Structure 1
């Protein structure tokens, strides 16, 4: 903008000087004045062509500055996008690790629940075994035929419970 003011002032001075020069030429010889006046437009045409060329140079200079600023802005945008890409990759990696940790936690909780259920089953069978052993001991040892008939199913139940508890507590049978 500050370049245009001197340019406009120069055009105004040229125009004013042109008017003064034309008046002076007209006063010298009145018979040749129309031809001189027509020829003077060639000089005016040259002046405006020069001014248009000056405007072209100013325009090219302004465009060069704008292109430089645009390149700098694009460089800043590229750096910002690269940084954003790195941050997104970091977030994706963090989310992946978090998902893996949640999966491991879920598996551990499932195993803990299975172990708790398994322990409750063992405790229930152990309690049933204690009750069966107490019933066998309460019968005493009379040795008669009726006593053996009543005691045999309890002993079979006791042996089955012992086998089941042994199988449930054997680590080679555990799943998971």
Structure 2
């Protein structure tokens, strides 16, 4: 923004300089050449200079168009690169989400297995406790068996990739 203001100030100063020189030339011509025919002849001398300046202005215009074309091409290339980087970033985010989901699933599975292991230990304690009645021991054996079947089903349902 600051650079743009600086360029605008320079452009305004150059335009004012050109208008000043043009105005001074008109005053000098009017002062030093009193006859209209002399003024006309003097003006005709600058026809070639006028053509030269027009050609230079046209060349600068073409050069400006070429520069703008190159900038547009670079901008397009940057946009393509940015798009590719955004796609890579998006893929990485999806992979990270997949990893997090897997970790949550594994944590959940581990917690479930630990809870089942705790229950099996509890029922084992009831079975081995000499103070337990036959009814309590039989019920503990049945519940332990049910939990062990559930553990077997969980393990059978797992793929090698599920447990890493």
> Do both proteins adopt the same fold according to a TM-score greater than 0.5, normalized to the shorter chain?
yes
How far did residue 46 of structure 1 move?
2.4
Residue 96 (1) aligns with residue 101 (2): no
* Counterpart in the other structure of 2:47: 53
* Counterpart in the other structure of 1:113: 107
Residue 164 (1) aligns with residue 147 (2): yes
1:1-176 maps to which residues of 2 (within 5 A)? 41-135=35-129, 138=130, 150-171=133-154
Q: Are 2:123 and 2:141, in contact at CA under 8 Å, matched by a contact in 1?
A: yes
Unaligned runs of 5+ in 1: 1-14, 20-37, 140-146
* Counterpart in the other structure of 2:7: none
CA–CA separation in structure 2 for the residues paired with 1:123 and 1:159: 15
How far did residue 45 of structure 1 move?
2.9
CA–CA separation in structure 2 for the residues paired with 1:49 and 1:63: 20
TM-score by length of 2: 0.65
Give RMSD over aligned pairs. Answer: 3.0
Could you tell which deviates more after superposition, 126-135 or 63-72? 126-135
Deviating above 4 A after TM superposition, structure 1's stretches of 4 or more consecutive aligned residues are 172-176
Mark the structure with the bigger radius of gyration: 1
